Amino acid sequence: MASGTRVPCGPCMYEDATKDAKRWCSNCKEGLCEDCEKVHRKSKISRKHKVISIEDYRKIENVSISQVCEQHGENLEWFCKTHDEVLCMVCVPSEHKACSDIISINVASKNARQSTALSDLEEAIEGTLRNVKQCIMNRESATKDIEKQELAIKTTIRETRTKIDGHLDNLQEKLLRDIKSTSCTCRSKYTKFLQKLNSTEEMLTKLREQTLHMKQFSSDIQVFLGTRQVNQQIASEVEYIKSEIGATKDYELKLAIHSLIEKISIKVEEFGQIKVVECTGNVNYRDQKMDQAQIGINVRKSKNISDVKLQLIKTFQIQRKNEIDISGCVILPNGHLLIANNTQEKYLIVYSDTGEHIRDIPVSARPFDITVIDSNRIVVTYTDTKFIEIMNSNSFNVEKRIKLKNSCFGISIEDGRLYITRGNTIHILDLSGTQLETLKVKSDSALYITTSRDRIFYTDCANNSVHCCSLEGEDVWQFNSESIACPYDVAVDNYNNVYVVGFSSNNLTIIQQDGKDSKTLLTESDGLDMPSTVYYGKEKRTLLICNENGKVVLYKARYKVI
């Protein structure tokens, strides 16, 4: 129905009468006049339906939410918790006969407005919108830099031109035309990408408004289904933006004056050359769940560790002829697994998340720990060396080597700051390598470290303890348990609950964010044999665990929905 037209009363139309609706029932999906609304409100079947004003209905009438199964054309009436799928009456016996936790969509959509899925959708829209706006600002700045470079080169050309004779006028004009054409080409490429970003920004703004209206005025089922469908659209848009960003290039205009120009040789056929230095675009897409602090998303309300369930995704063994000693691991933004093999062979190993070996990366020394800076960069620590290295996570070229006074162990990043463990201290550096602060900690042998928006977590293998302190180094809690022997690596989830692997106890334990409770999630019977490193991917809530001998396990970490 076109916005602005009259909305007829559905029940009256059924009786061949025509009345304008004053209200709208989101459950029945029809308008109600004043008389029919009274009847609708009195009926036991419909008295709990969500009835809104026609004005509010106008805000959501263009929000497209399908309540029909695409495969079978039947109404979506069921939800499979095992496969996280909405089903129709045909889907259940044909594809989900063996599933034991199928519930009605009415039950599944209960409290949909307060659901994590809707919250994640709103965060995804806001985060993606922020990313697009940041990309727009970046490209606008890059365009202005091209213009400044063009002006600077023109000035150089004219200053050089005053030193030579008039017979070079034609060459000068040729070069000016060349720079104008080259500059125009570069700006045109920036402009095309800006147009794409502006279009995406407009779409995301509309989705944000429609999601808000859907949250306020749609029925629970519509919110539930709309959340899923808009999520798919957002996911697709995010992948598109990332692919566009990956293909984006930065251009820098430079001038190369001919070596013989001052000799005024008759043989000189050109005034100079305009060169374009092309490199990977300095524009990043920051995943809000991978690095919440960098884009200002607060950690959500606490979750009880008793509600955690691990679902096995994949397990495989790293195959090597020589020694294996796994000491660090991360999940890269592209989904690949990057693993540090702390042996004299000095390399990192890249695997796909399905267990296929992709490549080995030679590095400067024995790699110990890894952390992800952003979508394009990682930083690696080394055993018995006094430096760390920032590397491109696509080419694995070293972009910067940061010298240290001493060797270090674990490393983490928060809000552009590197946190590095060394004995009884945590060193804080910026990405240029400047020492910002040194924190004295309780432990004399801090090993691995991870950080969140407002906390530092580190392990002390020698004293079988896990520590939590503020970003300023003030102690918050210390956790000791007989069930955790020689805690090695540590990771933190979106709710500040802490995962730690016990190297000698062969287990994975989760510690409540306040340090007062713990739960053993995996043991030796689950395949943990000297687990040395653990990583939590906040975007997809994925746990990566590696044994020292090269066994790799991936789990999906879920909290039970209450």
Q: Read off the CATH number of the domain in which 455 is found.
A: 2.120.10.30
Per the domain annotation, does 425 fall within a domain?
Answer: yes
pLDDT in tens, 172-214: 788 888 889 999 999 898 898 888 889 888 988 998 898 888 8
pLDDT class for 235, splitting at 50, 70, 90? confident
| Residue 414: domain span | 323-559
Question: How far apart, in whole angstroms, are the C-alpha atoms of residue 458 and residue 494?
Answer: 17
Structure tokens that stand for 259 in this block = 């070596």
* DSSP assignment string, 306-349: GGEEEEEEEEEE---SS---EEEEEE-TTS-EEEEE-STT-EEE
Per the domain annotation, does 313 fall within a domain?
Answer: no
**Does 362 lie in the same domain as 253?**
no
How far the first Cα of the chain sits from its last, in Å, is 38
Give me the pLDDT at residue 298, please: 37
**Does 339 lie in the same domain as 479?**
yes
Beta bridge pairs of residue 492: 498
pTM of full prediction above 0.75: no
**Does 384 lie in the same domain as 429?**
yes
pLDDT in tens, 78-98: 899 888 889 999 899 888 888
Nearest alpha carbon to residue 51 among 86, 24, 71, 14: 24
- Into how many domains does the chain fold? 4
pLDDT class for 2, splitting at 50, 70, 90? very low
**Does 90 lie in the same domain as 123?**
no
β-strand pairing of 487-492 with 411-414? unpaired
* DSSP assignment string, 371-439: EE-SSSEEEEEETT-SEEEEEETTT--EEEEEE-SS----EEEETTEEEEEEBTEEEEEETT--EEEEE
**Does 242 lie in the same domain as 212?**
yes
Please give the mean pLDDT across all residues of the chain. 86
Per the domain annotation, does 417 fall within a domain?
Answer: yes
Domain boundary among 280, 313, 336: 280
pLDDT class for 76, splitting at 50, 70, 90? confident
Question: How far apart, in whole angstroms, are the C-alpha atoms of residue 332 and residue 340?
Answer: 13
Count the helices and strands in the chain (H runs, E runs): 8, 32
**Does 87 lie in the same domain as 120?**
no
Q: How many CB atoms lie within 10 A of CB 440?
A: 8
**Does 94 lie in the same domain as 231?**
no
Per the domain annotation, does 296 fall within a domain?
Answer: no
β-strand pairing of 518-522 with 507-511? antiparallel
Question: How far apart, in whole angstroms, are the C-alpha atoms of residue 539 and residue 517?
Answer: 25
**Does 407 lie in the same domain as 367?**
yes
**Does 154 lie in the same domain as 130?**
yes
**Does 382 lie in the same domain as 233?**
no
Per the domain annotation, does 306 fall within a domain?
Answer: no
Q: Is 151 exposed, middle or buried (0-12, 13-18, 19+ CB in 10 A)?
A: exposed
Cβ(476)–Cβ(468) under 8 Å? yes
Per the domain annotation, does 549 fall within a domain?
Answer: yes
pLDDT in tens, 440-462: 888 888 889 999 988 999 999 98
pLDDT in tens, 383-438: 889 999 999 998 899 999 999 988 899 999 998 899 999 888 999 999 888 888 99
Nearest alpha carbon to residue 352 among 324, 385, 318, 395: 318
| Residue 1 in this model has a pLDDT that exceeds 50 | no
Cβ(125)–Cβ(207) under 8 Å? yes
Structure tokens that stand for 32 in this block = 């109600």
**Does 263 lie in the same domain as 164?**
yes
When mean pLDDT is compared across 239-248, 270-279, 550-559, the lowest value belongs to: 270-279
Per the domain annotation, does 290 fall within a domain?
Answer: no
Q: Give the whole-number percent of the chain exceeding pLDDT 70.
A: 90
pLDDT in tens, 263-312: 656 566 776 788 877 766 666 666 654 444 333 333 345 688 998 999 99
**Does 86 lie in the same domain as 29?**
no
pLDDT in tens, 317-328: 998 888 899 999
Per the domain annotation, does 318 fall within a domain?
Answer: no
